[in-house]
Structure 1
C-alpha cells in the first residue's frame, strides 16, 4: 500500500492610503497578537499530532479503499514522518503569514479569516472526497493540500494589496488576480507533464515563458508601469515581489520531477486541487462581497 502525501492621501477611486507611513510602521500597526496566535495554532496542531506514535498516525490517515468522514478531516493534519512534517510546516509558516500580511495591509482582514476558516473547516473534506474519484489502494495524509489552497489565495491577496497600496482600479485588480493564478498554472503544467512526458516539458516551458511576457504586456496596457510602483515608501514593492516569489517557489516544490519520496508518493493531484480551489473560492468571495469596496 502506498502513502500520498499616518498621513493620508485620497486616490481617484476614493481609497485613503497612508502616504508617508513606512512599511515597518504599517506592519506594526496592522498586526495583532491574537492574529499571530491564531496563525500559529494550526502549526501547533501539526506538531502535536506529529508526536503521536506511527500506529496512531496511520489510523488518522484517509484510506481510499475504506474511507471515513473523520479520517477525511484528520488526515490533513497528520504526516508520515518528521521530514514530511517539517516540509509541510515550513511551507505553511511561509505561505500563510505572507497571505495574512498582504490581507491586513490591504485592509482585508475579514477576507483573510473567511479564507482561513473555509480552508481548515471545509477543504479537508473536499480534498479527501475528490481523491475518491481516482480509486486506488492507498493512504492519504499531509497538510500540503491545505497549504496549496492558501497559495491559491495568494494571487487574490496580492491583487487586493496592489489595489490598496498602489492606487489601481477594480478592473486592473481582477486582471492581476487572474493573471497571477494563470502564471502559476504555467509553472505547474510543465512540472506535472515532466513526470510522464519529459520531452514535452521544453515546449510547455517556452509557452509558459510567453504567457508570463504576455501577462506583463497586459498589465502595462492596463496602466501598471514603473510610475505605479513609485507610489508607496520602500518595502511595499519588495513585499509584493516576495509574495510572487513565494507563489512560484511553493508551486515548484509542490510538483517535483520525481514524486516518490521517503514519505510516499507525492499527491500532486491534491496539490493541484488545493491551488485551483483556493483561488476560485477566494476570487468568487471577493467578486461577490468585496468588489464594490
Structure 2
C-alpha cells in the first residue's frame, strides 16, 4: 500500500533530481576549456617554482631590507616548504573554483577574469610595496596574499550570483555592507581578545564592522520584500543552485579563519596578517569600484 505522503515525497525527490540535473547541465555548458587552462596554470607555475633548488627559491623571495622589483613579483609564487605550498594550493582551488562557478552562473565571467589577471600580474607588486611600510629584517614569500585577494572577490561574486538566481531586485550598492561585516569578522579572528588594552580592539572593530554593515545596508535602500523564511525556502527548493549559494557563503565566511589565525607564529615562520588584510581589502575594493561604476554592464 502506498500512502499519499509517500507519493508526494517521491514526486518531490524526482523534482529535486531534475533541478539538480538542470543545474549541472547549465554549469557544464557555461564552463570553457580555455578558462580551465587559465585556472590550472596557477598551480602548475607554483609547483614548477617549487621544484627549483632552495637557494634559488630563497633568492626569489622578497627581502624587506634589500627589496628589488623582480623579487617583489616572484616572491608571491615562491614557497620554501611543502606544507606552505599545499595549503596555498588547496586555498586557491577552493577560492578560484567556487568563485569561477559563481561567476559563470551569474554572467560575470569577464569580472572574474579581469580580477584574476589583475591579482596575478599587478597585485604582487602592490602587496610587496605596501609591505615596506612595516620595516623588518625578514623575507616575504608565498601565494597567500593573492589567495586573500580572491577571498575579497568571492563575496562580490556570491552577491552577483544570489541576485541573478534568487533576488534580481537586489542592488550592488549594498555590497559594502558585506565588506564591513567581513572586516569585523576578520578583526575578531586576528586580534587578541582580552578585557583590557589592545585586547579590546578585536571586539570593538568587530562591533563597528557589524554596525557599519547594518547602517550601510539601511542607507543603500536594501529591502527584503519577502520574509527570510520564504527566501530560505526559495533557495532550498532549487537543488544545485541553492547548494552553490550555501557553499559560497561558507567559503566566504570560513576562509578568513585560515587566513587570519589567532596565533600567526609557527613552524619557524610568521603568517603575514598585514599582507593578508591588504590582499583581502584590495581584492574587494578594486572590482567593486569597477562593478559599481558600470564597467561590466552590457
TM above 0.5, yes or no, is yes
Instruction: Write the mapping of 1:20-39 to structure 2, written as runs, cut at 5 A.
Output: 22-39=22-39
Q: Look up the SS of the partner of 1:22 in the other structure.
A: helix
Tell me which of 264, 283, 288 is aligned to 1:278.
Answer: 283
Query: Contact between 1:155 and 1:178, CA under 8 Å: does it hold in 2?
Result: no
What displacement does 1:199 show?
4.4
Query: Contact between 2:61 and 2:71, CA under 8 Å: does it hold in 1?
Result: yes
In 1, Cα distance between equivalents of 2:268 and 2:96? 23
Scaled by the length of structure 2, what TM-score is found? 0.82
In 1, Cα distance between equivalents of 2:263 and 2:36? 35
Structure 2: which 5+ residue stretches go unaligned? Answer: 1-18
- Deviating beyond 6 angstroms after TM superposition, the runs of 4 or more aligned structure 1 residues are 195-198
In 1, Cα distance between equivalents of 2:202 and 2:49? 41
Query: Contact between 1:153 and 1:278, CA under 8 Å: does it hold in 2?
Result: yes
Tell me which of 278, 289, 292 is aligned to 2:294.
Answer: 289
How far does the alpha carbon of each residue in 1:88-142 deviate from its partner, in whole angstroms, 9 at most, with x for none?
1110010011111111100111111100111011000000000011111110000
Aligned to 1:46: 46
Aligned to 2:176: 178
Structure 2 vs 1, CA of residues 206 and 73 (structure 1 numbering), >3 Å: closer, same or farther? closer
Aligned to 2:80: 80
Range moving further from structure 2, 205-214 or 25-34:
205-214
Structure 2 vs 1, CA of residues 102 and 55 (structure 1 numbering), >3 Å: closer, same or farther? same
Q: Greater relative contact order: 1 or 2 (C-alpha under 8 angstroms, separation 6 or more)?
A: 1
Q: Look up the SS of the partner of 1:72 in the other structure.
A: helix
Aligned to 1:261: 266
Pairing 1:131–2:131 present = yes
Query: Contact between 2:88 and 2:143, CA under 8 Å: does it hold in 1?
Result: yes
Pairing 1:240–2:245 present = yes
Query: Contact between 2:20 and 2:240, CA under 8 Å: does it hold in 1?
Result: no
Query: Contact between 2:181 and 2:210, CA under 8 Å: does it hold in 1?
Result: no
Q: Look up the SS of the partner of 1:75 in the other structure.
A: helix
Instruction: Write the mapping of 1:129-168 to structure 2, written as runs, cut at 5 A.
Output: 129-168=129-168
Q: Look up the SS of the partner of 1:79 in the other structure.
A: coil
What displacement does 1:79 show?
0.9
Aligned to 1:251: 256
In 2, Cα distance between equivalents of 1:208 and 1:247? 20
Structure 2 vs 1, CA of residues 204 and 99 (structure 1 numbering), >3 Å: closer, same or farther? same
Structure 2 vs 1, CA of residues 284 and 239 (structure 1 numbering), >3 Å: closer, same or farther? same
Structure 2 vs 1, CA of residues 153 and 163 (structure 1 numbering), >3 Å: closer, same or farther? same
Q: Look up the SS of the partner of 1:80 in the other structure.
A: coil
Q: Look up the SS of the partner of 1:47 in the other structure.
A: helix
Q: CA RMSD in A?
A: 2.9
Pairing 1:227–2:230 present = yes
Pairing 1:194–2:196 present = no
How far does the alpha carbon of each residue in 1:18-39 deviate from its partner, in whole angstroms, 9 at most, with x for none?
x997221221111122211110
In 2, Cα distance between equivalents of 1:99 and 1:183? 19
What displacement does 1:291 show?
6.7
How far does the alpha carbon of each residue in 1:195-218 deviate from its partner, in whole angstroms, 9 at most, with x for none?
896843784497389659958x96
Q: How many residues align?
A: 273
Structure 1: which 5+ residue stretches go unaligned? Answer: 1-18
Over alpha carbons, which structure has the higher Rg?
2
Scaled by the length of structure 1, what TM-score is found? 0.83
Query: Contact between 1:148 and 1:275, CA under 8 Å: does it hold in 2?
Result: yes
